[in-house]
């Protein structure tokens, strides 16, 4: 099974071509204005919870604050950065269908902002940079740090495919090198996975895009380590508590997190549906590239 080269695919059906036009001309510009807090809109809470961020996006503003281009503090979800990355990916893929110089300029401005916000060691997550820097990679059961990193990687691949521009890819690979430094099998590394899958799929796509086998190995690591120690997230909470950091998140649900066993041993699709699809896609890609029969059977 081989994926299509999007450059070789052109939709001819007028129904779908019209939707492509709407996305390109209406949706993508509108979404950018929302991310940039340039529209008079009121973002509603998805459920009744006074702690939920509402009213605005602030996603790009978070990066400007992290880059020290303006003052303020983080606003929004701890995974708010991923909204920017998903927009970048969508905008990039739209360029494959039809180039747009103004959109490219806007994307390049956002890419420059990400570069300015990224820390010297490659770390990039505005929530933890601005709110809890001491807890980087220490609350993986809910932090979405690697989830956000995965979407950064996918955006970078899309922009390179669409334009050949490499700066976003360099930012993403620098972030991945930071992850490789902190996660792995060495005694001083973290032997656990993010509560929300996505990095696995993104790393395989990065391997396919660059040919760098260390990315495939890291994707395999995250699939192998997930559920290997079912107490990993509880141990994280205990270690943080010893440092005076309380856990304000819901109780750990290993089925919800698909961490009740290693993915290769799981035989039913259980838990959070979106996370399951990210994980299954990552498993399929690792299995195909590594010719891993155990993962193929799973």
Q: Are residues 16 and 162 in the same domain?
A: yes
* Ranges assigned E (strand) in 110-228: none
Range of the domain at 195: 183-298
Reported as a single tens digit per residue, the pLDDT across 5-54 is: 888 888 999 999 999 999 999 999 999 999 999 988 877 777 777 677 87
Q: Are residues 99 and 245 in the same domain?
A: no
Contact 195, 204 (CB under 8 A): no
CA distance 92 to 181: 29
pLDDT on residue 46: 75
Total domains in the chain come to 2
Q: Are residues 211 and 257 in the same domain?
A: yes
Instruction: Write down which residue in 179, 214, 242 finishes a domain.
Output: 179
Reported as a single tens digit per residue, the pLDDT across 211-254 is: 999 999 999 999 999 999 999 999 999 999 998 888 888 889 99
Q: Are residues 151 and 289 in the same domain?
A: no
Instruction: Write down which residue in 119, 149, 179 finishes a domain.
Output: 179
Q: Are residues 198 and 87 in the same domain?
A: no
Instruction: Write down which residue in 160, 179, 198 finishes a domain.
Output: 179
CA distance 237 to 51: 21
Q: Are residues 101 and 158 in the same domain?
A: yes
Reported as a single tens digit per residue, the pLDDT across 124-169 is: 999 999 999 999 999 999 999 999 999 999 999 999 999 999 999 9
Reported as a single tens digit per residue, the pLDDT across 47-100 is: 777 677 878 899 999 999 999 999 999 999 999 999 999 999 999 999 998 999
pLDDT on residue 245: 86
Q: Are residues 124 and 264 in the same domain?
A: no
Q: Are residues 152 and 189 in the same domain?
A: no
Tokens of 249: 């998140």
CA distance 60 to 90: 16
Q: Are residues 216 and 79 in the same domain?
A: no
**122-142 CB burial, b ≥16 within 10 A, e <16:** bbbbbbbbbebeeebbbbbbb
Q: Are residues 172 and 73 in the same domain?
A: yes
Residue from 189, 185, 215, 181 nearest 200 by CA: 215
Q: Are residues 75 and 13 in the same domain?
A: yes
pLDDT on residue 1: 65
């Amino acid at each position: 099974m081989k994926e299509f080269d999007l450059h070789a695919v052109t939709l001819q059906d007028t129904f779908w071509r019209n939707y492509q036009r709407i996305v390109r001309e209406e949706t993508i510009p509108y979404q950018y204005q929302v991310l940039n807090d340039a529209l008079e809109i009121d973002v509603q809470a998805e459920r009744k919870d006074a702690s939920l961020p509402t009213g605005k996006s602030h996603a790009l503003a978070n990066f400007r604050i992290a880059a020290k281009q303006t003052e303020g503090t983080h606003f929004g979800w701890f995974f708010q950065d991923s909204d920017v990355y998903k927009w970048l990916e969508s905008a990039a893929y739209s360029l494959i269908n039809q180039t747009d110089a103004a959109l490219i300029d806007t994307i390049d401005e956002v890419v420059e902002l990400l570069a300015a916000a990224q820390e010297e060691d490659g770390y990039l997550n505005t929530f933890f940079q601005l709110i809890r820097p001491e807890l980087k990679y220490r609350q993986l059961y809910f932090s979405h740090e690697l989830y956000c990193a995965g979407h950064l990687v996918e955006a970078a691949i899309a922009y390179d495919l669409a334009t050949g521009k490499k700066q976003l890819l360099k930012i993403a690979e620098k972030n991945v090198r930071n992850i490789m430094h902190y996660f792995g099998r060495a005694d001083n590394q973290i032997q656990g996975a993010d509560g929300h899958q996505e990095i696995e799929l993104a790393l395989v796509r990065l391997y396919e895009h660059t040919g760098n086998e260390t990315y495939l190995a890291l994707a395999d690591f995250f699939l192998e380590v997930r559920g290997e120690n079912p107490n990993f997230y509880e141990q994280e909470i205990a270690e943080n508590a010893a440092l005076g950091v309380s856990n304000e998140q819901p109780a750990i649900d290993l089925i919800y997190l698909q961490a009740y066993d290693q993915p290769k041993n799981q035989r039913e699709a259980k838990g959070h549906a979106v996370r399951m699809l990210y994980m299954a896609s990552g498993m399929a890609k690792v299995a195909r590239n590594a010719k891993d029969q155990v993962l193929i059977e799973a």
